[in-house]
Amino acid sequence: MQGERNAVQVTHVFSASAERVFDAWLDPAKAAKFLFATPTGQMVKAEIDARVGGRFLFVDRRDGADIEHIGEYLEIDRPRRLVFSFGVPQFSSEFTRVTVEITSQGTGCVLILTHEGVLPDYQERTQAGWGMILDGLEKAVQ
């Protein structure tokens, strides 16, 4: 990786249990509703091999173009921690690292997502994107 890289962090409080929130990340039917989905796009593929070393592939069709989101699971510690590499081949050959940490809080949970390796020019967009994804996750686990 060249140049300066930053970490983006987003926190979201869920009314759903840590287990429900965690499991949604690894369930293709649920994940297709929020993970890398856009309001104007159509999720045309959601494949998850939910094991360390397993890969995922999400394809969001946007304005007639298919955008692939790919990665590999590096850590899976249900329901506390999920770590994966992440890339969007159409825009960059590089991979970044995403860590999802979930802590039970009352009947719900708190999720802290940290995306490492983000270029400074993409920090605000990345933060907004994960915020939108976590809002979608909230709806998926209700």
Q: Span 43-59, mean pLDDT? A: 97
Alpha carbon distance 22, 73 (integer Å): 14
Alpha carbon distance 37, 58 (integer Å): 9
Contact 64, 43 (CB under 8 A): no
Report the DSSP beta bridge partners of residue 45. 59
Chain segment 92-141, per-residue pLDDT in tens: 899 999 999 999 999 999 999 999 999 999 999 999 999 999 999 999 99
pLDDT at 2: 54
pLDDT at 3: 66
Alpha carbon distance 15, 10 (integer Å): 17
Q: Any idea what DSSP says for residue 39? A: S
Report the DSSP beta bridge partners of residue 101. 81, 112
pLDDT at 50: 98
CATH T-level assignment (fold) for domain 6-140: Alpha-D-Glucose-1,6-Bisphosphate; Chain A, domain 4 (3.30.530)
Q: How confident is the model at residue 38 (pLDDT cuts 50, 70, 90)?
A: confident
Domain positions in the chain are 6-140
Over pLDDT 70: what percentage of the chain?
98
Q: How confident is the model at residue 37 (pLDDT cuts 50, 70, 90)?
A: confident
pLDDT at residue 1 greater than cutoff 50 = no
